[in-house]
Amino acid sequence: MAVSTPFRSGFVSIVGRPNVGKSTLLNQLLGQKIAIATDKPQTTRNRILGIHNVPGAQILFLDTPGIHKGEGRLNKYMVNQALSACSDVDLILFLVEATAPPGAGDAFVMDVLRRSETPVFLVINKIDLVPREQLLPLIDTFSRQFNFAEIIPISAQTGDGADRLVERICERLPEGNPYYPEDMITDLPERFIVAEMVREQLLRQTRDEIPYGVAVEVETFEEKPEKNLIVIQAVIHVVRETHKGIIVGHQGQRLRAIGQSARLEIEKLLGTRVYLELFVHVEKNWTENVHQLRRFGYE
């Protein structure tokens, strides 16, 4: 009589310094976009749960903001989100870049990880951008600084190494039943993901003109199934009047472009037509206001 393999399930945090590809990795592993990704540091502000089902296992990934020495209420909130994801999990993926030697930011993250008893995988990202012979010296350098349970090179962009990473993760997960139904990919409400997709296009299209003092709030989310349509109204909150002018652009051109790009991403997510209307409001100093931070979801 064949012995059945026990089901495994558990929580896996993806941590690292800002802008190393944590959200890109999460989206790659899930095969679907739920976390926004740009080339700007600190794009991710909240801890995001991604549910990945494979035969015999359910992996609950936690994408986190980049760990850094945060100043100001919003930055401290983001760092706290990342640090809290290092406790009460079954495994930690420490994501670094193959394109750069370990620096002060990586050392700061490793100092944080030393306080945890959770096993840590070193995941070396962006291997598609460097010759393979550069990896061995990098692996050796990191190995001298921390006792990693596994070291796995990957490309979050192309998916190279992702299957091996999932296989190694499953081997480390404890035996247990699935936490969520098989058809769930995240526990995030659709409104949250929609707001994030608008913010992603804001960061992409304003480049360095707008600092991080922007928040997006979905005010209405009305489904009209008879028209195969969802009507969404969202407000972009900025800290200065000048920022409002930059986002709106000449005769509203930039705001329309942001809305068009965001709408396409939202339609992919929701699988239906979307009518998206955007407004811009000035909320002075909201990044330091406890009540405003809570209102925008940064509690």
What structural domains and CATH numbers belong to the chain?
A: 8-172 (3.40.50.300), 190-295 (3.30.300.20)
pLDDT at 203 over 90: no
pLDDT at 78 over 60: yes
- Is residue 290 exposed (0-12), middle (13-18) or buried (19+ Cβ within 10 Å)? exposed
Q: What confidence tens digit (pLDDT) does each residue in 241-255 have?
A: 989 999 999 899 999
Q: Token pair for residue 124?
A: 């070396």
Q: How far is CA 240 from CA 71, 217, 244, 282, 287, in A?
A: 20, 17, 7, 6, 12
Residue 100 pLDDT grade (very low, low, confident, very high; cuts 50, 70, 90): confident
Higher pLDDT, 79 or 13: 13
Who contacts 201 (Cβ-Cβ below 8 Å, separation ≥6)?
258, 259, 261, 262, 265
Cα–Cα distance for residue pair 129/81, rounded to 1 Å: 30
Question: What pLDDT is attached to residue 231?
Answer: 97
Cα–Cα distance for residue pair 20/17, rounded to 1 Å: 7
Closest CA to 283 of 189, 186, 216, 199: 216
pLDDT at 151 over 90: yes
Mean pLDDT on 54-67: 86
Q: How many CB atoms lie within 10 A of CB 78?
A: 25
pTM of the model: 0.85
Q: What confidence tens digit (pLDDT) does each residue in 120-140 have?
A: 999 999 999 999 889 999 999
Q: Token pair for residue 74?
A: 């919003």
Question: What pLDDT is attached to residue 71?
Answer: 60
Question: What pLDDT is attached to residue 171?
Answer: 95
Percent of the chain with pLDDT over 70: 86
Cα–Cα distance for residue pair 9/13, rounded to 1 Å: 13
